[in-house]
Copies of this chain bind each other. A is one copy, B any other.
């Protein structure tokens, strides 16, 4: 078992606090207190508060990107690819809940050059997902509808998973049930007979 470096411990604790209060409302003092040290001691391990945010966001963005890259490099149908992307997205999100939640708002507090890097990865992710959905529509596997609305609705329908205070209600749900239920809702909706 690898021992965690001090830096890793700081970064992981910061993710929890950023989640609870937001990046701006979290002080270095808050992070230090949780770790039982004084704020200036943190700077022996990290360069700045901004570095912590940058590490967190670029690492999670790359995890998602690597995931979609693997799925889209196969020769499967668009429908199958979309299912695999959703499953991968759910898996990465649940395994990195605190960090993933930062994608929603705290990325705005990134400074250059990290900001541009993050935005690029995120746009590339969106682009790859868009290609799969568009491909599926053209191949007759998915219903033809406004691509931006469809893309946003699919991505957004998964976003509550990151949100710990909402996710808490479903903490007794297994990953399998989560995947199965969400795939069913996205692919065939909530209506019983239509």
Contacts and interface: CB of A to CB of B under 8 A. Distances in A.
| Interface size class, chain A | 35 or more
Interface string A178-194: 10011011111111111
Interface stretch (A8-16, A62-70, A141-149): A141-149
A142 B190 CA distance: 6
Interface in A69-103: 79, 82
A55 interface: no
A84 to B, nearest CB: 15
B24 A181 contact: no
A1 interface: no
A170 interface: yes
A2 interface: no
B146 A181 contact: yes
Copies of the chain in the assembly: 2
Interface in A1-31: 20-25
Contacts of A35: none
Interface in A127-175: 133, 140-143, 145-146, 148-150, 152-160, 166, 169-170, 173
Contacts of A21: 24, 108-109
Given A21-B109, A145-B181, A146-B173, 4 more contacts: A146-B170, A148-B173, A153-B181, A153-B186
26 contacts: A22-B105, A24-B24, A133-B190, A140-B193, A141-B191, A143-B184, A143-B191, A143-B192, A145-B181, A145-B185, A146-B173, A148-B169, A148-B170, A148-B173, A149-B170, A149-B185, A150-B190, A153-B157, A153-B160, A153-B182, A154-B157, A155-B160, A156-B157, A186-B190, A187-B191, A188-B189
